[in-house]
Amino acid sequence: METGLSMWTVVVAAGSGTRFGTAKQYAALAGHRVVDRSVSTAALVSDGVVVVVPPLDVGAESARWGAAEVVAGGPSRAASVRNGLAAVPGDAAIICVHDAARPLADPDIYRRVVHEVRSGAAGAVPVVPVTDTIRRVDGGVVDRSTLRAVQTPQAFRAEVLQAAYADGADATDDAGLVEAAGHAVVAVEGHRRNIKITHPDDLAAAEVWLAT
Protein backbone atom coordinates (compact mmCIF):
# COMPACT_ATOMS: atom_id res chain seq x y z
CA MET A 1 0.00 0.00 0.00
CA GLU A 2 1.12 3.61 -0.53
CA THR A 3 2.89 5.10 2.43
CA GLY A 4 1.43 7.93 4.47
CA LEU A 5 -1.93 7.78 6.17
CA SER A 6 -2.56 4.52 7.95
CA MET A 7 -5.21 2.18 6.53
CA TRP A 8 -7.11 -0.48 8.46
CA THR A 9 -9.52 -3.07 7.10
CA VAL A 10 -12.57 -4.49 8.88
CA VAL A 11 -13.44 -7.94 7.49
CA VAL A 12 -17.00 -8.87 8.45
CA ALA A 13 -17.43 -12.63 8.85
CA ALA A 14 -20.15 -12.87 11.50
CA GLY A 15 -23.08 -13.90 9.30
CA SER A 16 -24.90 -17.21 9.56
CA GLY A 17 -25.02 -18.12 5.86
CA THR A 18 -28.76 -18.75 5.74
CA ARG A 19 -28.91 -18.91 1.93
CA PHE A 20 -25.72 -20.99 1.75
CA GLY A 21 -26.97 -23.46 4.35
CA THR A 22 -23.99 -23.29 6.73
CA ALA A 23 -21.53 -20.67 7.99
CA LYS A 24 -20.05 -20.12 4.51
CA GLN A 25 -17.11 -18.08 5.85
CA TYR A 26 -15.61 -21.38 7.09
CA ALA A 27 -16.25 -23.34 3.86
CA ALA A 28 -13.11 -24.58 2.11
CA LEU A 29 -12.23 -22.97 -1.21
CA ALA A 30 -9.33 -24.69 -2.98
CA GLY A 31 -7.81 -25.73 0.33
CA HIS A 32 -8.25 -22.53 2.32
CA ARG A 33 -11.29 -21.30 4.22
CA VAL A 34 -13.21 -18.45 2.62
CA VAL A 35 -12.51 -16.15 5.59
CA ASP A 36 -8.80 -17.03 5.58
CA ARG A 37 -8.48 -15.91 1.95
CA SER A 38 -10.28 -12.65 2.70
CA VAL A 39 -8.20 -11.90 5.80
CA SER A 40 -4.89 -12.82 4.11
CA THR A 41 -5.46 -10.39 1.26
CA ALA A 42 -6.62 -7.66 3.65
CA ALA A 43 -3.48 -8.18 5.76
CA LEU A 44 -1.25 -7.84 2.66
CA VAL A 45 -2.51 -4.34 1.88
CA SER A 46 -3.50 -2.93 5.30
CA ASP A 47 -1.65 -1.57 8.32
CA GLY A 48 -4.02 -3.55 10.53
CA VAL A 49 -7.01 -5.88 10.21
CA VAL A 50 -10.05 -6.40 12.43
CA VAL A 51 -11.92 -9.66 11.81
CA VAL A 52 -15.53 -9.76 13.00
CA VAL A 53 -16.81 -13.29 13.72
CA PRO A 54 -19.80 -14.91 15.43
CA PRO A 55 -19.52 -14.39 19.21
CA LEU A 56 -18.95 -18.09 19.93
CA ASP A 57 -16.00 -18.23 17.51
CA VAL A 58 -13.94 -15.33 18.90
CA GLY A 59 -11.64 -17.59 20.93
CA ALA A 60 -10.87 -20.07 18.17
CA GLU A 61 -10.42 -17.39 15.48
CA SER A 62 -8.20 -15.23 17.72
CA ALA A 63 -5.90 -18.21 18.13
CA ARG A 64 -5.67 -18.53 14.32
CA TRP A 65 -5.15 -14.83 13.62
CA GLY A 66 -2.26 -13.76 15.80
CA ALA A 67 -1.70 -10.55 13.85
CA ALA A 68 -5.34 -9.51 13.49
CA GLU A 69 -7.81 -8.23 16.08
CA VAL A 70 -10.79 -10.58 16.38
CA VAL A 71 -14.06 -9.22 17.75
CA ALA A 72 -17.63 -10.50 18.09
CA GLY A 73 -20.24 -9.55 15.50
CA GLY A 74 -23.87 -8.62 16.00
CA PRO A 75 -27.27 -9.68 14.68
CA SER A 76 -27.05 -7.61 11.46
CA ARG A 77 -24.20 -6.80 9.10
CA ALA A 78 -24.38 -3.17 10.23
CA ALA A 79 -24.04 -4.24 13.87
CA SER A 80 -21.02 -6.35 12.93
CA VAL A 81 -19.39 -3.45 11.06
CA ARG A 82 -20.06 -1.19 14.04
CA ASN A 83 -18.35 -3.67 16.40
CA GLY A 84 -15.41 -3.90 14.03
CA LEU A 85 -15.08 -0.12 13.77
CA ALA A 86 -14.92 0.10 17.56
CA ALA A 87 -11.70 -1.94 17.44
CA VAL A 88 -9.97 0.23 14.81
CA PRO A 89 -7.34 2.51 16.40
CA GLY A 90 -8.16 6.21 16.47
CA ASP A 91 -5.10 7.09 14.38
CA ALA A 92 -6.30 5.10 11.35
CA ALA A 93 -6.98 7.64 8.60
CA ILE A 94 -8.64 5.31 6.09
CA ILE A 95 -10.86 2.32 6.81
CA CYS A 96 -11.82 -0.37 4.32
CA VAL A 97 -14.80 -2.61 4.99
CA HIS A 98 -14.80 -5.99 3.30
CA ASP A 99 -17.24 -8.89 3.25
CA ALA A 100 -15.45 -12.12 4.16
CA ALA A 101 -17.87 -13.71 1.67
CA ARG A 102 -15.83 -12.15 -1.21
CA PRO A 103 -12.67 -14.26 -0.96
CA LEU A 104 -11.45 -13.37 -4.48
CA ALA A 105 -11.04 -9.63 -3.88
CA ASP A 106 -7.46 -8.90 -4.92
CA PRO A 107 -4.94 -6.27 -3.78
CA ASP A 108 -5.59 -4.20 -6.92
CA ILE A 109 -9.21 -3.57 -5.94
CA TYR A 110 -8.06 -2.42 -2.49
CA ARG A 111 -5.50 -0.14 -4.13
CA ARG A 112 -8.07 1.41 -6.44
CA VAL A 113 -10.57 2.30 -3.70
CA VAL A 114 -7.89 3.46 -1.25
CA HIS A 115 -6.23 5.59 -3.93
CA GLU A 116 -9.49 7.55 -4.39
CA VAL A 117 -9.76 8.24 -0.67
CA ARG A 118 -6.08 9.26 -0.48
CA SER A 119 -6.85 11.61 -3.37
CA GLY A 120 -9.63 13.31 -1.40
CA ALA A 121 -12.84 11.29 -1.82
CA ALA A 122 -14.89 10.59 1.33
CA GLY A 123 -15.51 7.06 0.11
CA ALA A 124 -14.94 4.76 -2.86
CA VAL A 125 -16.63 1.54 -3.94
CA PRO A 126 -15.81 -1.04 -6.62
CA VAL A 127 -18.58 -1.57 -9.15
CA VAL A 128 -19.25 -3.80 -12.14
CA PRO A 129 -21.81 -3.46 -14.95
CA VAL A 130 -25.09 -5.28 -14.51
CA THR A 131 -25.31 -7.98 -17.17
CA ASP A 132 -28.78 -9.37 -16.48
CA THR A 133 -31.82 -7.58 -17.82
CA ILE A 134 -33.50 -6.12 -14.75
CA ARG A 135 -37.28 -5.98 -14.49
CA ARG A 136 -39.41 -4.23 -11.89
CA VAL A 137 -41.75 -6.59 -10.01
CA ASP A 138 -44.58 -4.17 -10.79
CA GLY A 139 -43.73 -4.29 -14.49
CA GLY A 140 -41.27 -2.61 -16.82
CA VAL A 141 -37.64 -3.21 -17.70
CA VAL A 142 -35.05 -0.95 -16.03
CA ASP A 143 -32.38 0.63 -18.24
CA ARG A 144 -29.37 -1.34 -17.03
CA SER A 145 -26.87 1.04 -18.64
CA THR A 146 -27.50 3.34 -15.66
CA LEU A 147 -26.99 0.57 -13.09
CA ARG A 148 -23.87 -0.87 -11.44
CA ALA A 149 -23.52 -3.75 -8.98
CA VAL A 150 -21.52 -2.78 -5.90
CA GLN A 151 -18.76 -4.95 -4.42
CA THR A 152 -16.43 -4.78 -1.43
CA PRO A 153 -13.79 -3.76 -0.29
CA GLN A 154 -15.12 -0.22 0.12
CA ALA A 155 -12.79 2.50 1.42
CA PHE A 156 -13.67 5.56 3.49
CA ARG A 157 -12.09 8.42 5.36
CA ALA A 158 -12.07 7.00 8.87
CA GLU A 159 -13.85 9.89 10.58
CA VAL A 160 -16.61 9.91 7.96
CA LEU A 161 -17.32 6.19 8.35
CA GLN A 162 -17.09 6.27 12.16
CA ALA A 163 -19.51 9.21 12.28
CA ALA A 164 -21.97 7.54 9.88
CA TYR A 165 -22.08 4.43 12.05
CA ALA A 166 -22.12 6.37 15.33
CA ASP A 167 -25.65 7.51 14.49
CA GLY A 168 -26.87 3.97 15.06
CA ALA A 169 -28.39 3.60 11.63
CA ASP A 170 -28.89 0.18 10.08
CA ALA A 171 -27.82 -0.28 6.47
CA THR A 172 -26.79 -3.19 4.29
CA ASP A 173 -24.37 -0.94 2.46
CA ASP A 174 -21.64 1.16 4.04
CA ALA A 175 -21.46 3.57 1.11
CA GLY A 176 -25.20 4.15 1.31
CA LEU A 177 -24.86 5.14 4.94
CA VAL A 178 -22.00 7.54 4.16
CA GLU A 179 -24.00 9.10 1.32
CA ALA A 180 -27.03 9.47 3.60
CA ALA A 181 -24.71 11.48 5.88
CA GLY A 182 -24.13 13.88 2.98
CA HIS A 183 -20.78 12.70 1.58
CA ALA A 184 -19.96 11.86 -2.02
CA VAL A 185 -18.84 8.31 -2.76
CA VAL A 186 -16.97 7.59 -5.99
CA ALA A 187 -17.10 4.39 -8.01
CA VAL A 188 -14.02 2.58 -9.27
CA GLU A 189 -13.73 -0.49 -11.45
CA GLY A 190 -14.42 -3.70 -9.57
CA HIS A 191 -13.82 -7.12 -11.05
CA ARG A 192 -16.21 -9.79 -12.32
CA ARG A 193 -14.30 -12.46 -10.46
CA ASN A 194 -14.86 -10.70 -7.13
CA ILE A 195 -18.07 -12.64 -6.54
CA LYS A 196 -19.90 -12.90 -3.23
CA ILE A 197 -20.38 -16.43 -1.99
CA THR A 198 -24.12 -16.49 -1.33
CA HIS A 199 -25.43 -19.89 -2.48
CA PRO A 200 -23.52 -23.21 -2.54
CA ASP A 201 -22.96 -23.06 -6.31
CA ASP A 202 -21.10 -19.75 -5.87
CA LEU A 203 -18.35 -21.75 -4.18
CA ALA A 204 -18.03 -23.90 -7.30
CA ALA A 205 -17.90 -20.73 -9.42
CA ALA A 206 -15.14 -19.35 -7.17
CA GLU A 207 -13.15 -22.59 -7.63
CA VAL A 208 -13.39 -22.06 -11.40
CA TRP A 209 -12.24 -18.42 -11.15
CA LEU A 210 -9.30 -19.53 -8.99
CA ALA A 211 -8.29 -22.07 -11.61
CA THR A 212 -8.36 -19.52 -14.48
Interface positions with ligand CTP (CB under 6 A): 12-20, 25, 52, 73-77, 80, 99-101, 196, 198
Q: What's the min distance (Å) between Cβ of 135 and Mg ion?
A: 24
**Closest residue to ligand CTP in the complex (CB):** 15
Stretch touching Mg ion by CB under 5 A, among 12-20, 21-29, 129-137, 159-167: 12-20
Contacts (CB under 5 A) with Mg ion, residues 13-72: 15
Residue 71: phi and psi, rounded to 5, are: -130, 160
**Cα–Cα distances in Å, from 70 out to 10, 46, 142, 157, 161?**
10, 15, 42, 22, 20
Q: Residue length, the chain? A: 212
Type of residue found at 110:
Y
Closest CB to ligand CTP among 169 and 184?
A: 169
52 binds, among ligand CTP, Mg ion, none (CB under 5 to 8 A by kind): ligand CTP
Nearest partner of 42 among 13, 20, 17, 71, judged by Cα: 13
Upper half-sphere CA count for residue 174 (Cβ side, 13 Å)? 33
- Please state, in angstroms and rounded to a whole number, the distance separating the CA atoms of residues 19 and 16: 9
103 binds, among Mg ion, ligand CTP, none (CB under 5 to 8 A by kind): none
Closest CB to ligand CTP among 15 and 118?
A: 15
